[in-house]
């Protein structure tokens, strides 16, 4: 049985085709989220890659910020449930999920079956989210995927003390004007996100194994700063950004199997 999960986020649309709840047939990611043709692109791409005719998909589940805006969906589920299921699929021993996406950060506690037991979320402030990193990368005229490599070259992370993205922007500019090396500034930016998310994680309670999902999981600078702050190993996967879409496909399978 083929099920499909679509995760429509603030910056990207992700789609996963799953066979019998266990085998990933194809994945697609379009770099455009809610209010764009990103979902259409991701859907078209995943069907092409999977070589699966649309009529063979038994259930299409939508999740993410834009989950109510995708007409082909047969149903929807919250991002929290979707990430919990997706991360459980990727790492059976995961008991805590740290998800940092484009506009929010969530920490979800899981039970042994991958069900969400509790969660803590920041969706009020850009600091501590991918948005903060995107803005800072823009100031540095770098791509966001360069930040991890730059942070690894830092001698000492610069102190970014502002809790507000707008003030932190001025702080970064003045650090650069004072000759602080770019890698140190980048490490400071990554640390600033990690400090906020680590505080969220402590509120939720950190139980190992800890798995990181969402696009920011690809940023090694944030990952390392989080590991240092929390004193745990963070597990991740090349499919971390697709965890929500994967979880939605798993949910669709579970519904159809009942
Ligand atoms: P959303 O679902 O809200 O669109 P995602 O989970 O797709 O969010 O994450 C988007 C964020 O991930 C971006 O804001 C960016 O900071 C980060 N990101 C995306 N791709 C990469 C990459 N290759 N390397 C580092 N960070 C990345």
Give residue-wise pLDDT tens across range 140-179: 999 999 999 999 999 999 999 887 888 888 999 999 999 9
Q: What distance in Å separates the CA atoms of residue 2 and residue 249, rounded to the nearest whole number?
A: 9
Q: Ligand 1: does its nearest atom lie under 6 Å from the Cβ of 133?
A: yes
154 close to ligand 1 (CB < 6 Angstrom): no
Residue length, the chain?
258
Is the pLDDT reported for residue 195 higher than 80? yes
Mean pLDDT of 104-111: 95
Predicted local confidence at residue 17, as pLDDT: 98
Quick check: 237 and 91 in contact, CB under 8 A?
yes
**Residue that has been written with the tokens 């194994």 in this structure:** 209
Q: What value does the mean pLDDT take over residues 47-67? A: 96
Query: pLDDT at position 214, please?
Result: 97
Q: For ligand 1, is residue 36 a contact (CB within 6 Å)? A: no
Tell whether ligand 1 has an atom less than 6 A from the beta carbon of residue 104.
no
- Evaluate: CB of 218 within 6 angstroms of ligand 1: yes
Q: What sections of the chain are H helices per DSSP? A: 38-50, 79-90, 130-139, 147-152, 165-177, 182-204, 220-230, 243-257
Pairing label, strands 57-63, 75-76: parallel
Residue 200 in this model has a pLDDT that exceeds 80: yes
**Taking 90 as the threshold, does the pLDDT of residue 27 lie above it?**
yes
**Ligand 1 mean position, distance from CA 177 (Å):** 28
Residue with tokens 């939508």: 62
Ligand 1 centroid – CA 1 distance (Å): 30
- Residue 135: predicted pLDDT: 94
User: How many angstroms does the Cα of residue 50 sit away from the middle of ligand 1?
Assistant: 24
Instruction: Assess whether the C-beta atom of 13 lies below 6 angstroms from ligand 1.
Output: no
Query: Does ligand 1 come within 6 angstroms of the Cβ of 12?
Result: yes
Query: Considering the chain, what percentage of its residues have pLDDT values greater than 90?
Result: 91
Average pLDDT score over the chain: 95
| Of 216, 220, 240, best ligand 1 pocket probe by most atoms within 8 Å of the beta carbon | 216
Q: In whole angstroms, what is the distance from residue 16 CA to residue 10 CA?
A: 18
The half-sphere exposure of 201 on its side-chain side, counting CA atoms within 13 A, is 26
Supply the pTM of this predicted model: 0.95
What's the order of all strands across the beta sheet hosting 105-110? 116-122, 105-110, 96-100, 210-213, 234-235
Least confident among 24-28, 125-129, 241-245:
125-129
Query: What is the predicted pLDDT for the residue at 240?
Result: 97
Distances (CA, A) of 89 to 23, 59, 86, 234: 10, 18, 5, 16
Mutate to test the pocket of ligand 1, among 39, 80, 215 (most ligand atoms within 8 A of CB): 215
Q: How confident is the model at residue 114 (pLDDT cuts 50, 70, 90)?
A: confident
Q: Does residue 101 contact residue 130 with C-beta atoms inside 8 Å?
A: yes
Cα 68 → chain centroid: 19
Binned at pLDDT 50, 70 and 90, residue 125 comes out as confident
Give the pLDDT band (50/70/90) at residue 127: confident
Q: Please determine, for residue 84, whether its predicted confidence score (pLDDT) is greater than 80.
A: yes
Q: Whose CA is nearest to atom 24 of ligand 1?
A: 145
Q: Give the integer Cα–Cα distance in Å for 6 and 254.
A: 16
The end-to-end CA distance of the chain, in Å, is 13
């Amino acid at each position: 049985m083929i099920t499909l999960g679509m995760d429509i986020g603030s910056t990207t649309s992700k789609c996963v085709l799953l066979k019998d709840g266990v085998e990933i047939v194809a994945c697609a990611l379009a770099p455009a989220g809610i209010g764009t043709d990103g979902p259409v692109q991701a859907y078209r791409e995943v069907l092409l890659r999977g070589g699966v005719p649309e009529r063979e998909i038994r259930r299409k589940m939508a999740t993410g910020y834009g989950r109510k805006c995708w007409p082909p969906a047969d149903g929807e589920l919250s991002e929290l449930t979707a990430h919990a299921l997706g991360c459980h699929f990727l790492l059976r021993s995961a008991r805590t999920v740290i998800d940092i996406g484009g506009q929010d950060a969530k920490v979800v506690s899981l039970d042994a079956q991958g069900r969400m037991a509790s969660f803590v979320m920041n969706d009020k402030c850009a600091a501590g989210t991918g948005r903060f990193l995107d803005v800072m990368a823009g100031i540095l005229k770098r791509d966001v995927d360069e930040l991890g490599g730059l942070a690894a070259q830092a001698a000492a992370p610069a102190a970014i003390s502002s809790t507000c993205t707008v003030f932190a922007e001025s702080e970064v500019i003045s650090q650069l004007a004072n000759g602080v090396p770019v890698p140190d500034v980048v490490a400071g930016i990554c640390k600033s996100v990690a400090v906020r998310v680590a505080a969220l994680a402590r509120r939720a309670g950190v139980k190992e194994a800890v798995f990181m999902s969402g696009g920011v999981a690809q940023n090694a600078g944030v990952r390392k700063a989080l590991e240092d702050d929390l004193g745990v190993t963070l597990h991740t996967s090349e499919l971390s950004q697709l965890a929500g879409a994967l979880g939605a496909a798993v949910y669709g399978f579970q519904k159809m199997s009942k």
